Structure 1
Amino acid sequence: MAVRNRIRNRLRSDQLSEGPDYALVGVISIPELQASPWRAIGKRVVFAVVALFFTAVIVYIDRAGYRDAQNNPLSFLDSLYYSAVTLSTTGYGDITPLSPSARLVNILIITPMRVLFLIVLIGTTLEVLTERSRQALKIQRWRNSVRNHTVVIGYGTKGRTAVEAMIGDGIKPAEIVVVDGDAAALEAAAQDGLVTVRGDATKSDVLRLAGVAHAAAIVVATNRDDTAVLATLTAREINPRAKIVASIREAENQHLMRQSGANSVVVSSETAGRLLGIATKTPTVVEVIEDLLTPDEGYSIAEREVDPTETGGSPKHTKDIVLGVVREGVLYRVDNSKVEQIEAGDRLLYVRQGGPSDD
C-alpha cells in the first residue's frame, strides 16, 4: 500500500523533452575522447613560440629594410622584439619597415602570422564559447538517430553489473543509455563510454530524452522498489513493445512490477539469500552459478534460434546442453512434455562457453 501511495504522489509531468536542444546540454551527455587540457595548452604555447621565432628570422633576414627610432640597423634581439609587439598587435612604432621589400614581407607573411598568432591566443576562449553549440548539435544528431538501444535506469551496483554483463554479451557501449539523478553515478557511466541522461526516471519526459520510445530493452535497477514500479509503469506507457527487466528488493512488490509492465522481475534480496544458503552446504554450486552468470569467461547461459536440422528432434539430444525451450514467448523446461520435440520458431536456452552470443 505504501508503494502505491508513493506512486500516486510522484505522478507529475514537465516539459523537458519539448525544449530546444541547447537547453539539454548538461542533461544529456554523449561520451567523446577527451584530450588533456595541459596538452592542448602546451600545443598552443609551442605554436606561438614557433610563430614568434619564425617571424623574427624573417625580419632579421630583411633587417636592412628596417630602422628603429634612432635610425640604427636591427639586431636579432631587435627583430625578436619587433616580432613580439607586432604579432600581439601592440605596435609601439619604434621599429618600422622602410624598404618596399620589408613592407611586402609584412603584408604577405607577418600579417597572416599575426592573425594565426591571435587565433592561438584566443583559441581557448572560442572553444568555451562554441562548446555549448557543439554539444547541442551532437545531442540533436543523437536524438534523431538513436534506435533499438538499451536504457538502464539507475547506475548503482546493480546497474553497473548489468551493463558489464551486456557488454560481455556483445552489446556495444554506444547502444546503452544510462538514466540517473546522481552526478557521481553519471560520471562513472560517462567514463565507461555510455551516453547518460540526468534526471528522475519516474518522469516521462526524462525517459523520452533517453529514447525510451525507440528502445529495444529497458533495465530498471533503482535502489527503491516504489521508484522501480513507477519507472517501469512510465516506460511501459511510452513504449509498449520494449522488453523491460526490473530488479526489486522485496518479493511482495513483484506483482506490482508485473502489473506495471515488466517482462521479467528479479528479487535481489531473495536471490542473494538463496545463494548464501546454498553456499553454507555446497559452495561449489555457487561458483558454478557465478560462472554461468559471467558471459566473458568459463560457461554462460544463452539463448539461440533452432537450427533447421534440429527440428523434430528432442531438445535433450542437441549438440548443446539445453536447459529450456522458448515457444511463443513462454519458457518450458527441457523435461516438459510440451517440448518433447523441437518445432520451427522455437528458441533454445542452453549452456555455452563464454564469449559473445551466437545471435
Structure 2
Amino acid sequence: MMLVMVVVMIHWLDRGGLQDNHDGHVSFTDVVYFTMISITTTGFGDIAPVTDRARMVEAIIVTPIRFIVIFIFVGAAYNFIIKYSWEKWRMARIQEKLSDHVVVLGFGVSGSEAVNELIQRGTEPADIVVMDTRTERLNEAEALGCNVIRADATRDEHLHAVRISRARTVLVSAGRDDSSILIVLTVRHLAPNVPISVVVRAADNELLAHQAGANNVINPVRFAGQLLAGSAQGAHLAEYLADLASVGGRVELVERPVLPEEIGRPLTRLATGGQGLRIHRRHEVIGFWEPGSEALQEGDTIVEIIPTPETAGKA
C-alpha cells in the first residue's frame, strides 16, 4: 500500500505529462485509476504519459516499483496459497506412512534433547514427528530429518493430524506444567492405549500429570537433586547415573520384553549378557534379589544394564 501511494503521488505531481483521451482532464481519481492499471500492467490506453519527462518517470521510477509490487503479490500468493497447499499435500503424504512413530509435543530444551537422544539410540528421524508453535524450533527439528508440524498440541484436530492413536509413544514437554498436563489429558482422550511421558517441573504437579493419564512423569529438578545427592555420597555415583541415562556413555539402561529363549531362566542369566535389575510382571515389580526373579515368565518386561555398542566393541 505504501508503494502504491508513492506511485499515486508521483503521478499526481507529474499529472501535466499525462493525457486523458476521454475528457482531456486528469483528475485525482484519474491518477489513482492510472496508477492501479499501470502497476498491474493492464494498460487500457485511455490515459497515457505523453511528455518525455512523464515517460522517463514511468521507465526509471514507476517500473522498478511495479516489479517490487508484483514480487510482493507473488510472495503473498506463495505464502497463503501455494505454500499452504504444498504443506497440506506434504502432510497428507506423511500421514499415510505414520504408524508406530514417536510424537514429540514441544521442541524446547527437554524436547530437543529427547529427540537427539532417540536418534543416537537408533530411532530413524523419519519415525519422529515434532509438533510446536515456534517456527525456528521446527526448523531445527526438520534439519535433523524429523517430520514437523506447526500447530497447537492441545487441539484435537492437530493431534489427529499426526495419527496420535497409532503412535508408539508420545513425549510431552510444553515448557509449562499446566500446558503439559492439558496436552496429556487431550492425548489420553484420543489415544487411550498409547504410552505418554511428560516433563513437569513442580513436584505438586506430578500427581496431576499421573491422574491426567501420563505413564511416566519426569521431573528434571528432582532428578538434578538426586544427582547432587549422589555426588555427596560418592564421587562416582552421579557420573554413573548420568552414564546410564545417556546412550553416549559406557553403559545403557534398557527396558525390553523377555525373549523366548530367556523364559525359565533367572534374571541374572539374560541372553543379551546384560545385568538384569528388575522385572515388571503384570502389576508386580520384582527386584533381582526378590523371589520370582529366579524364573522369567512369558509377558515379563525386563529392565537391564547393557554396555553401549562402542564399549562392547572394545571388549
Q: Same fold (TM over 0.5)?
A: yes
Residue 199 of structure 1: CA displacement? 2.2
2:302 aligned to which of 336, 339, 348 = 348
Provide the secondary structure at the position in 2 that maps to 1:226: helix
Structure 2 counterpart of 1:284, one-letter code? H
Q: 1:69-80 counterparts in 2 under 5 A?
A: none
1:347 Cα shift?
A: 2.6
- TM-score, normalization: structure 1? 0.59
Corresponding residue to 1:193 among 135, 145, 148: 145
Q: Distance in 1 between matches of 2:82 and 2:153?
A: 30
Q: Highest relative contact order (Cα 8 Å, sep 6+), 1 or 2?
A: 1
Percent identical among aligned pairs is: 28
Mapped partners of 1:331, 1:158: distance in 2? 28
- Structure 1 residues 311 and 144: CA distance shift in structure 2, 3 A: closer
Aligned partners of 2:153 and 2:84: how far apart in 1?
Answer: 25
Query: Residue type of the partner of 2:253?
Result: I
1:234 aligns with 2:234: no
Q: Is contact 2:130-2:146 (8 Å) kept?
A: yes
More displaced stretch, 334-343 vs 148-157: 334-343
Structure 1 residues 140 and 352: alpha-carbon distance in aligned structure 2, compared to 1, 3 A threshold: same
1:333 aligns with 2:287: yes
Distance 1:172 1:329 in 2: 31
Q: Deviations over 1:70-97 (max 9, x none)?
A: xxxxxxxxxxxxxxxxxxxxxxxxxxxx
Counterpart mapping for 1:3-18 below 5 A: none
* Residue identity opposite 1:214 in structure 2: R
2:100 & 2:182 partners in 1: Cα distance? 22
- In structure 2, relative to structure 1, the CA distance for the partners of 1:212 and 1:273 (3 Å cut) is same
Alpha carbons of structure 1 residues 188 and 256: separation in structure 2 relative to 1, 3 Å:
same
Separation in 1, partners of 2:141, 2:284: 34
* Deviation sequence 1:127-184 (CA, Å, 0-9, x none): x686654443222211232111111111111101111221122211011111111222
Gaps of 5+ in 2: 1-73, 311-315
Mapped to 2, the partners of 1:131 and 1:200 lie a distance apart of: 19
TM-score by length of 2: 0.67
Count of aligned pairs between the two proteins: 232
How do residues 272-291 of structure 1 correspond to structure 2 at under 5 angstroms?
A: 272-291=224-243
Change in CA separation of 1:347 and 1:134 when aligned onto 2, cut-off 3 Å? same
Alignment match of 2:97 (pick from 139, 145, 149): 145
1:300 maps to 252
Shift of 1:260: 0.8
Distance change >3 Å, CA 308–CA 212, structure 1 → 2: closer
The two structures, once aligned, show a CA RMSD in angstroms of 2.4
Question: For residues 131 and 184 of structure 1, do their structure 2 counterparts lie closer, same or farther at Cα, with a shift above 3 Å needed?
Answer: closer
Distance 2:198 2:170 in 1: 8
* 1:28-49 per-position Cα deviation (integer Å, ceiling 9, x unaligned): xxxxxxxxxxxxxxxxxxxxxx
Once the two structures are overlaid, the 10-residue window that deviates more, 284-293 or 228-237, is 284-293
